[in-house]
Copies of this chain bind each other. A is one copy, B any other.
Amino acid sequence: MQTKTVTVKVNKHCYDIIIGPSLVTKAALQIKHSLHRKDFHQMRLAIVTDTNVASIHLETLQAELTKNKIYTVPIIIEAGEQSKSFSTLQTVIDKILAARLERGDCVIAFGGGVIGDLGGFAASIIRRGMNFIQMPTTLLAQIDSSVGGKTGINSQYGKNLIGTFYQPQCVITDTCLLDTLPPREFRAGYAEMIKYGLINQPDFFEWLEKNGQKVFSNGPTRIQAIVRSCQFKADIVARDEYETGERALLNLGHTFGHMLETATAYDPNRLIHGEAIAIGMILAYQFSAQLNLINPTLTQRIETHLKAMGLPTQLKDIPGKLPNAETLMTFIAQDKKVSQNDLTFILTRGLGQSFIAKNVPPEAILTFLKQKLAEIS
């Protein structure tokens, strides 16, 4: 299977996403190529990773780098969303500074979205910006969070409220790593792939309806789907790095999704990010249907595919009790997509016809949420 490259162009900065099988065992050469360093043997490389990834893949990566005479500093943090915190950030930064890494040295984020967001944020603020490389290990990270340079941690006031825009020197996407990913995590990543189709690529959604099952097993179809997803996101980011315009389309399903993640206290036993997005997208479609923007049968079609792939689609699919509609609204209001007290949602006018709806009245959302909660009570 061939290695593919997607190039991301952001302002003056240009870097590659390398996508293919078994790239961890060939990482040294790629890192060398991306950092343009002559004194490669003098480089220090911090590998920020989590307990899950470390137990399966860290040894392989370290062996490859050590073989190529790169000094590595592994920094292993607890797996899970709770690590996107101020205290874990400080721990990671302290370890990198204690190991005396300099600006021209490099931080590798070797893990899923949490590791990419946290490691990238640390790299962006140590010595006002160090070299940084993403090595995403989950489907979600490979097609979404590793592309586009958003970094961040959570605050008690909401998700990702503290962070930077910081582009890496390269992204190394080893598709074989997905073989050890728990199936539930894979499905959650797949929800974001569906999202790309729903935003403005109806042909990609139709392709996924036909080929989705094949994406779940290693092979050229999986790589093809990852390449197409990365290319799609890279193109949006290239046109709108700082999310002043169309990049907001990527938030399809995310305002409702973040609301549900907050409502379930980021408890992965109840809901993980991609699952929240799956339900969030259905909510966005249902709300669009209520506004007569689409025919409800379209929502059913999307729901059928999500269900076929094993994803939750409704509030009743979330284990445990949800708060009332008024409380859910407060979670939405503190979400970062709020601008000047008007609510911004990504709604849709048809398959692959999403758009940014500003000035959505909070009352309409509240009424909608009350309905949805009534359906499951």
Contact indicator B93/A126 (Cβ below 8 Å): no
Q: Which residues of B contact A158 (CB under 8 A)?
A: 97
Known: A150-B128, A242-B129. Contact between A39 and B161, CB under 8 A? Answer: no
Proximity bits, A129-156, B CB within 8 Å = 1, else 0? 1000000000000000000001010011
**Shortest CB–CB separation between residue A128 and chain B, in angstroms?**
5
Q: Which residues of B contact A39 (CB under 8 A)?
A: 340
Contact indicator B162/A125 (Cβ below 8 Å): yes
Residue of B nearest to A152 (CB): B128
Contact indicator A94/B334 (Cβ below 8 Å): no
One of B128, B129, B163 near A125 (C-beta < 8 A): B163
Contact indicator A340/B104 (Cβ below 8 Å): yes
A207 at the interface (CB under 8 A from B): no
Contact indicator B126/A161 (Cβ below 8 Å): yes
A42 at the interface (CB under 8 A from B): yes
Report, nearest first, the 6 A-B pairs whose CB atoms are least far apart: A97-B157, A128-B163, A86-B90, A125-B162, A127-B336, A128-B165
List chain A positions with a Cβ less than 8 A from chain B. Answer: 39, 42, 86, 90, 93-94, 97-98, 100, 102-104, 121, 124-129, 150, 152, 155-158, 161-165, 242, 334, 336, 338-341
8 sample A-B contacts, Cβ–Cβ < 8 Å, listed by A number:
A39-B340, A42-B340, A86-B86, A94-B155, A94-B156, A94-B157, A104-B339, A127-B336
